[in-house]
Every structure is written in C-alpha cells, then in structure tokens.
Amino acid sequence: MPADYTTTPVIEARSLTKYFGHVVALDRCDFEVYAGEILAIIGDNGAGKSTLIKALCGALQPDSGQIFLEGKPVHFRSPMDARNAGIETVYQNLAVSPALNITENLFLGREVLRPGFLGRVLRMIDRKTMRTQSEEFMKSLKFRIQDMNVSVESLSGGQRQGVAVARSAAFARKVIIMDEPTAALGVKESRMVLDLIREIRDRGLPVILISHNMPHVFELADRVHIQRLGRRLAIIDPKQYSMSDAVALMTGAKTLANAEQV
C-alpha cells in the first residue's frame, strides 16, 4: 500500500524538546510518519535519534512539545501506554525468551485463554488456538518456519529477529518502530528480516526504521528523516539523493542550501 502524504500522519510530533541536565537531546524536533511507508531515521551519534524514538514509544516523556496519534494529542506515560495505543517497538537486543517456542514468544504477555470456566476461572491457556493463529500469521508474512513448536534458542540470529518483528506486526495496530533490526546479522539473515519489513509495509502498516546500515536504509525506505543536533534537519527521497549526500547532511558537510527538504 503506497503512502498517501496528503492524509493525516499516523504519528506526528511537534516541537519535542528533551533535556538531560544541561544537555539538549531534542531541540524542538518535528516528526511524522504516514500509513503505508517505511520511514528511516538516520543521524550521527548524539543526534537525538534514540531520544526521539523513546518519546514516541513512551519510554520517556518530553519536557515540552506534543505527540499526535492520527491527529489526536496523546500523552504516553510508559511503553505500555504506547502499546495499548497500537504502537509496537522491536529493540536491537531482542526481547525474546530463548527457552520458549515460537508460538509462546509470539503471544508472550498476550496469551489466549480457553473459553468458559477453564479460562475465566482457572486461567488455562488455549495453546491450540495460539498455535493455529501463529501459523496463519507467519504464513501471511511469508516467514519461513517449518515448526512453530521449536524453541527460539534453536533458531538462527535472523530467525530470532524475525520472530521479534513478527510478534510486533501481529499486535501493532498503528505503527512498528524498529531499532537496528539487522545489526549483527549476516547477509542471508539480514535479507530475511528486510523481506519481512517489506511485507509489513505492504500490509499498510507504517514502519519507523532506525539504522546505521545505509545500504539497507536506501534499499527499504520510502523517505529518510535526517536528525542532527536534536532536530530534524531534512526529509529526503532516497531515489533523489545518494548515500554520500545523506551522510554529508547528517555530519554537517552539506547544508540545506545544497539539498531541498521534501
């Protein structure tokens, strides 16, 4: 589903500011992502990328500014607030439980209970329903796993990352935030994760991608948000600019006089 940039953004931030003591991590930062797009965020170390993402997913609260979800102001006090609003985050360190199988990881914290007395009173888990739903969802994402009952610790690094991504896609209703999803992965494993991200985008769910891997950014992203010194410097179309242009902008070697904001 191609993005429609004339509609209301799924998530929008205006003039976000965050201080850590005397350090300005976010300086009146603006941001928006639309349905049906992969928006990459790039920037040099200390540019405020992580702080921006933590504000969007409720991990920290900005000192000033406003976040909007589908045009309505929101105040996330915790990551659970953001999750309840339909925002899922996949972190670089993989929040998966290696000893559990794939189905159990997908439904971790969201287990389906058996109907009636068994679920309502005895709190018994409906493993059959969870396994069936897991298989259907993985198939819809074209995720290549033969057995949903295998433990995650037996999977490759790329497959583990894929489970974390798929879990977020299964429950995200508004947007998925991915922090360095291909870090420390080999070429083949990275390719699997990149294909999975495309499948999610093609289902109409926007993806916010934070990555230092510029080839992956320029391969995947529909737009690239360049963060510098706590603010959004520019948004560029990766089809119109090169990787060297993007690096020059984020490091300050090139100014906005040399690159239009899109």
Question: Residue 25 is inside which H or E element, if any?
Answer: strand 23-33
pLDDT in tens, 39-91: 999 999 889 999 999 999 999 999 999 999 999 999 999 999 999 999 999 87
The pLDDT of residue 137: 82
Show Cβ contacts of residue 239 under 8 Å, excluding neighbours closer than 6 positions.
none
Convert the pLDDT of each residue in 211-243 to its tens digit.
Answer: 989 999 999 999 999 999 999 999 999 999 999
Give residue-wise pLDDT tens across range 79-122. 999 999 999 998 766 667 888 999 998 888 888 888 888 888 88
Question: What are the phi and psi torsion angles at 211 (to 5°)?
Answer: -155, 145
HEC letters along 98-150: CCCEHHHHHCCCCCCECCCHHHHCCCCECHHHHHHHHHHHHHHCCCCCCCCCC
What is the CATH class of 11-97+174-258?
Answer: alpha beta
Residue type present at position 5: Y
Domain boundaries, the chain: 11-97+174-258
- The structure's pTM equals 0.87
Query: Which residues, in sequence order, are bridge partners of residue 23?
Result: 20
